Amino acid sequence: MVTVAAEAASTEPHYDRKLELKAFDESKAGVKGLLDAGVTKLPRIFVNEQSLPLDHLSVDEEPQFGIPTIDLQGVTDDAERRKEIVREILDACENWGFFQIVSHGIPQIMLDEIRESVKRFHELDTEVKKSYYTREYGRKKFIYNSNFYLFEGPVTNWRDTITAVMAPIPVDPQDLPDVCRDIIIEYSKEVIRLGHTLFELFSEAMGLSSDFLKDMDCAEEMMLLGHYYPPCPEPERAIGINNHKDNDFLTILLQDHIGGLQVLHDNKWVEVPYQPGALVINTGDLLQLVSNDKFKSVVHRVQSKKVGPRISVAGFFRAVFPNPRLFGPIKEILTEDNPAIYRECTNKEYLQAYFSTGQDGTPALDLFKL
């Protein structure tokens, strides 16, 4: 279905979306560059022209039960408390696919500094940032650009991003910008430590040994993403990031007070509230696949805001690309009553399927169902 805005665009003279996307990309200035240039009206390429599945659903302003928050205090030194945490995580992963954690061991001063460093980079002079701008993800381990799916996606997101590969072979420190080098290295160490703990808890929640998921290479690669959502002149016509599921096993997200992250739950959009010091955890498509749908990968989005910038920092865990290992439902959890839902696939096969959809609302996992 095409919206009124899209119908208007189709009759608007001299509008060539592909040409304007190309010009935007070649500017290497990102969304921030538009604001720096004095833009006060949303450029056409950012107008949300398509009515995508789920867009029409309402926002649950006062959900009876919000996103769960789990306190990790005692997870490493209290066996009984660890069992309770495992049960809480199991419930959150089965019913929400999202939860927040506190007492995770990362100091508040480090959370503040990584957010501030992402902001510092994105607010550098455009000419300085241009040297990092590229879409050749495989060739560099630190890159800056705007919109992963700029030419494939149905919607151009009001967001710029930096990406740093931090495991298994991290980016050379000399390739990181001065304004964020030290904190990216230190924060990534903490995120990797925390990610390994969470994978242990996920394994235990499925009745497996603590190292099961780690031994499957689920935590082999960690990419750190620093998102910058500038204030939007017409937020009601734009989107920070459109409806999607994450193409990994696990995401550890640090957000700020601006808000805008929404999760689809029971056919309604539920806000993920900002909690000072908390981290947002969500399970990705690949964890849903290997858990045979026991853990849910959930659709989520970020709304544009008139205020900002909104800063978020995400740690993505997955196997390296390419990894020859076949990923499929874990055989140890399959039974006659719980047969495999998906066929096995490599990380490369799955990512190619995910990228081919361009985040158009088509679930990539559906392509691997038996």
Q: What is the DSSP letter of 348?
A: H
Each residue's pLDDT tens digit, 242-291:
889 999 999 999 999 999 999 999 999 999 999 999 999 999 999 999 99
Whole-number Å distance between alpha carbons of 325 and 348: 10
Helices (H), the chain: 4-11, 17-27, 30-36, 79-95, 108-122, 126-130, 181-205, 212-215, 285-290, 347-357
Q: Give the span between the Cα atoms of 308 and 228, in whole angstroms.
A: 9
Of the listed ranges 1-5, 151-155, 218-222, the least confidently predicted one is 1-5
Q: What is the pTM of this model?
A: 0.93
pLDDT at residue 62 in the model = 59
With cut-offs at 50, 70 and 90, classify the pLDDT of residue 7: very low
Dihedral (CA of 46, 135, 223, 161) sign: negative
Contact 226, 262 (CB under 8 A): no
What is d(CA 273, CA 265) in angstroms, rounded to the nearest whole number? 15
CA–CA dist 281, 172 (Å, integer): 28
Q: How far apart are CA 73 and CA 112, in angstroms?
A: 21
Please list, in sequence order, all residues whose beta carbon lies within 8 angstroms of the beta carbon of residue 255, skipping any fewer than 6 positions away: 261, 272, 274, 280, 310, 311, 312
Mean local confidence (pLDDT), 226-243: 95
Q: What is the mean pLDDT of residues 337-351?
A: 95
Q: How confident is the model at residue 322 (pLDDT cuts 50, 70, 90)?
A: confident
At residue 4, the pLDDT reads 35
Compute how many other C-beta atoms are within 10 angstroms of the C-beta atom of residue 311.
Answer: 21
End-to-end CA distance of the chain: 30
Residue 5, pLDDT > 50, answer: no
Integer angstrom CA distances of residue 301 from 58, 93, 273, 282: 13, 18, 14, 13
Distance CA 349, CA 326 (A): 10
Specify the pLDDT at position 54: 52
Mean pLDDT of the chain: 91
Query: Which pLDDT band, with edges at 50, 70 and 90, does 58 fall under?
Result: low
Kindly tell me if the per-residue pLDDT of 52 is higher than 70: no
Question: In this structure, what are the phi and psi dihedrals at residue 101, rounded to the nearest 5 degrees?
Answer: -125, 145
The answer on pLDDT for 9 being more than 70 is no
Task: Please give the pLDDT value at position 11.
Answer: 44
Segment 312-320 shows an average pLDDT of 97
pLDDT digits (tens, 9 = 90+) for 33-51: 999 999 999 999 999 876 5
Q: What is the pLDDT of residues 112-171, one digit of tens each?
A: 999 999 999 999 999 999 999 999 887 899 999 999 889 887 789 999 999 999 999 999
